[in-house]
């Protein structure tokens, strides 16, 4: 287990699908601070702003010394533009800075990671879905949204 993944121990569906990319459900402020101490540099929050947060975003995140980005993923934002924005954010971080990528449970994280895994990392569908499930993907509806995007953008 890496130091980054160790730092968020206790986060629902915590995983490190790629070196320096840590994913999961909602972290606590203490887990964010531990992530920073372990070498974490940035946070990608895909929760809707209306979802309850256990800390003030982005203020508490930036006060912890982490870059903060939010790309809301919800039924209302299930669009190609949303997947493209998440994909670009992941592209901008992987291999460059340690990123914590989270939602409430990891389900949306897993789904929105599929296009990056398939289109940018060259994974086949089976491997990408398996990795997304390790990150918390459980919704077939979310998965179909992501796979449809991949098919249309291949």
Q: What's 89's domain CATH number?
A: 3.90.190.10
Q: How far apart are CA 138 and CA 113, in angstroms?
A: 13
Rounded to an integer, the average pLDDT of 26-49 is 98
Asked whether 103 and 26 are in contact (CB, 8 A), the reply is yes
Residue 115: is its pLDDT beyond 90?
yes
Q: How far apart are CA 42 and CA 56, in angstroms?
A: 16
- Exposed, middle or buried by CB within 10 Å (0-12, 13-18, 19+), for 29? middle
Residue 27: is its pLDDT beyond 80?
yes
Q: How far apart are CA 114 and CA 56, in angstroms?
A: 29
Rounded to an integer, the average pLDDT of 43-69 is 96
Domain range holding 136?
3-153
The single-letter DSSP state of residue 151 is H
The pTM of the full predicted model, rounded to 2 decimals, is 0.97
Give residue 83's pLDDT band: very low, low, confident or very high (50, 70, 90).
very high
Give residue 100's pLDDT band: very low, low, confident or very high (50, 70, 90).
very high
Length of the chain: 154
Residue 1: is its pLDDT beyond 80?
no
Rounded to an integer, the average pLDDT of 50-61 is 94
Q: How far apart are CA 78 and CA 30, in angstroms?
A: 31
Three-state DSSP class for residue 106: coil
Rounded to an integer, the average pLDDT of 124-148 is 99
The number of distinct structural domains making up the chain is: 1
Quick one: residue 55, left, alpha or beta (phi over 0 = left, psi -120 to 50 = alpha)? Answer: beta
Task: Please report, rounded to a whole number, the percentage of residues in the chain having pLDDT higher than 90.
Answer: 99
Q: For residue 69, what are the β-bridge partners?
A: 44
Residue 89: is its pLDDT beyond 80?
yes
Residue 2: is its pLDDT beyond 80?
yes
Rounded to an integer, the average pLDDT of 131-137 is 98
Three-state DSSP class for residue 117: helix
Q: How far apart are CA 60 and CA 102, in angstroms?
A: 15
Rounded to an integer, the average pLDDT of 26-42 is 98
Rounded to an integer, the average pLDDT of 18-38 is 98
């Amino acid at each position: 287990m890496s130091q980054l993944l160790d730092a968020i121990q206790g986060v629902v569906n915590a995983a490190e699908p790629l070196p320096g990319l840590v994913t999961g459900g909602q972290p606590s402020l203490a887990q964010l601070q531990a992530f920073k101490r372990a070498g974490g540099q940035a946070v990608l929050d895909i929760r809707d702003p209306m979802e309850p947060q256990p800390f003030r975003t982005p203020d508490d995140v930036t006060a912890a010394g982490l870059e903060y980005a939010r790309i809301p993923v919800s039924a209302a934002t299930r669009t190609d533009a949303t997947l493209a924005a998440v994909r670009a954010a992941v592209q901008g971080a992987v291999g460059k800075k340690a990123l914590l990528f989270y939602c409430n449970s990891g389900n949306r994280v897993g789904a929105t990671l599929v296009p990056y895994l398939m289109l940018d990392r060259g994974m086949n569908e089976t491997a990408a879905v398996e990795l997304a499930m390790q990150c918390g993907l459980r919704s077939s509806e979310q998965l179909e949204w992501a796979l449809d995007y991949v098919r249309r953008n291949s």
